[in-house]
A and B are shown apart, each in its own frame.
Chain A
Amino acid sequence: MSAPILAVRDLRVYFEIRSNEGWLSKPQTLRAVDGVTFDLLQGETLGVVGESGCGKTTMARAVLGLVPVTSGEVLFGGKDLAHLDAGEMRAQRQHLQIIFQDPLASLDPRMTLGQIIAEPLRSFFPKLTASERQAKVVEIMGHVGLLPEQINRYPHEFSGGQAQRIGIARALILRPEVVVCDEPVSALDVSIKAQILNLLSDLQERFGLSLLFIAHDLASVRHASRRVMVLYLGKVMELAPWKDIYRTPLHPYTQALIQAIPPADPKRARSNPVKPLGGELPSPISPPSGCVFRTRCQHAIERCSLEVPLLRPVGESLVACHLAEQIQAASA
């Protein structure tokens, strides 16, 4: 088993927000990330899934020091990133990079492809000469499938898939160890999605990257990751190897997520149509007591409203559900 390259411990990100009641009312607390703990292992891809508002993006940004952490630890290379000052954090950033969801929105339209990809080098290695920089840019362009003659083109001249390749090149030029992929294929067309997913797995192998792969659909995560973490209202519901998540999901929320995905198979769709999860996502300002999922859970019992379920091992999975054993027995 490989060692963790990044260890996140009880990470919390709370935002103070003003309520609608007026300027003088007490600010309320929005719990975007509420006690998340996990390890990212050396060379693995850890998938992170959950619906909009589950805190997956905020969690990733907190790991990179892009939003202030309320409490908890982000351990990387013997340091706690959550408690570094701005200068020390900046020095660490070359080891931790991010790829964004909307490729065109994340590229400066006034910069050429070459300038965009070289920018991280300019800020972290200002002593490099122009030709050394150029050589590195051309090399990484080759790795992501861009042609050297495209170096002076502008972002608007590229399609979404190619723009995402530019974003990947920019993230990888510093040879980071950890890359956060924040929904890197959600905005892309189907035929391009597969190209980018395959490219990411090739690059991971070549550079030995450890990836935190965020997505809202389990299907793209399945092709990228061996282990998957399921978030709901800022908390980890289940963290397990992909095959267990898919075959024997133990948390009722994970089950609901899997049943919500329509299979690309009309016969199966007719015999077993998608089952929508009832109810609405509760507000992260006033989450339910006890288990945050209980208001939408078909198995909920009284204990679920009284006692917060801890993330605990059941088989090879980590599950935050009081009833995980019963659910496991029922599905076996």
Chain B
Amino acid sequence: MAPTPLLEVRDVSVEFATREGAVRAVSQVDLDLVTGETLAIVGESGSGKSQMLLGLLGLTARNGRVSGSARFKGEELVGAGAKRLNQIRGAEIGFVFQDPMTSLNPYLTIGRQLTEPLTVHRRVGSAAATAQAIEMLHAVHITEPERRMQQYPHQLSGGMRQRVAIAMALICRPEMLIADEPTTALDVTVQAQVLSLLREVRERFGTAVILVTHDLGVIAELADRVNVMYAGRIVETGSVDEIFYNCRHPYTQALERSIPQLDDSRLERLVAIAGNPPNPLHLPPGCAFAPRCPYRLDVCDKSVPPLEAVEAGHRKACFYEGALDRMAEPA
């Protein structure tokens, strides 16, 4: 029997009312996350990956509207009360953002920020909270944690701040961690520290992770499964090996080819994806990737391809059935 999902998302859409009209940032997204697994969501800016997650947790901007269903451990999140969502956020679902300073308060000591979630969500006494906070700083490899507890975020380096942000996200031992571009703002050597730290905490605490990123190297390093998003929709989903070695959507293929790699086997010249991502105000009526796609068929301009199974656990939203053997290169 398949394990019960920790998070079950069905048909979630996020729409924003703007002066220029309604903008659909996320369209009919389904996803499942089981206990302990790492699901990567890959896509470019504006593909809706962050908006989808914010939508699930009641953090959509005021002009936004979320529809569909998202069950976390069986409990419906879409439309849940603000009080309940507050309890879930922070205690049961942890967050790590791209810029650690968005989660750290510059005016409060590290110690204060780490112990607060424990005293608020878990009703732990202050001495016990301090002890747990120091233990968590050890777990994220912060040297001299007792001294760091007294310091302010500006006294730490960028890499240390991100590790403190991870410690803060994990302090209440959430079952699920959402990491939104956790390494994008970091140097490669610091990124490597954060990647191996995420791998370690995932094993140690059994935390399920939703990892949002545009970096395929980060995905290869951490993910069990991958969802590829383009213009608000999931266009391909599968195990990390299926996505890397047997991808079936032209956009996934184009992404993989366009990324600079150290590998010698790569061509000198990158295979760029022609054109730009579509404007969400004026999405094409059919497949949103069609205008940039080298495999485009007539039907692609008319209707949106459904997300259909290629084989067990691997689905794609594309009408083209042939081999992906064409080069996409701008004229």
Interface residues of A (CB under 8 A from B): 51-52, 159-162, 189-195, 197-198, 201, 216-220, 222-223, 243, 246-247, 256-269, 273-277, 280-281
Contact = CB atoms under 8 A, between A and B. Distances in A.
Contact of A220 (B158, B260, B263): B260
28 contacts: A159-B276, A161-B276, A189-B44, A192-B276, A194-B260, A194-B273, A195-B330, A197-B260, A197-B270, A218-B262, A222-B260, A222-B262, A223-B269, A243-B264, A246-B264, A256-B189, A257-B188, A262-B220, A264-B256, A269-B220, A273-B195, A273-B199, A273-B221, A274-B221, A275-B196, A276-B195, A280-B157, A281-B157
A192 B215 CA distance: 14
Given A223-B260, A266-B241, A275 B272 contact: no
Given A161-B276, A195-B330, A198-B272, 10 more contacts: A190-B259, A194-B272, A195-B272, A201-B269, A223-B260, A263-B263, A264-B219, A265-B244, A276-B193, A280-B159
A35 B271 CA distance: 38
B148 to A, nearest CB: 12
B216 interface: yes
A273 B195 CA distance: 9
A275 B214 contact: no
B268 interface: yes
Given A194-B260, A194-B272, A264 B192 contact: no
A259 B188 CA distance: 9
B44 A191 contact: yes
Contact of A273 (B196, B268, B277): B196
Contacts of A274: 192, 195-196, 221
A267 B241 contact: yes
Main secondary structure of the interface of A (DSSP, over half): helix
Contact of B189 (A264, A265, A276): A276
Contacts, number: 139
B160 A280 contact: yes
B44 A257 contact: no
A265 B158 CA distance: 27
Nearest to B226: A266
Given A52-B187, A219-B260, A263-B220, A190 B255 contact: yes
Contacts of A160: 45
B214 A198 contact: no
A3 B319 CA distance: 54
B126 interface: no
Contact of B192 (A191, A268, A277): A277
A261 to B, nearest CB: 6
A190 B258 contact: yes
Contact of B214 (A189, A194, A243, A276): A189
B132 interface: no
A276 B270 contact: no
Residue of B158, B187, B191 contacting most chain A CB atoms (<10 Å): B187
Contacts of B263: 263
Interface in B254-307: 254-256, 258-264, 268-274, 276-277
Nearest to A216: B187
A266 to B, nearest CB: 4
Contacts of A52: 158, 187
Interface string B166-196: 0000000000000000000001111111011
Given A190-B255, A191-B273, A264 B188 contact: no
Contacts of B269: 198, 201, 223
Given A192-B276, A260-B188, A269 B258 contact: no
B260 A262 contact: no
B133 interface: no
Contacts of B44: 189-191
Contacts of B223: 266
Contact of B217 (A159, A263, A281): A263
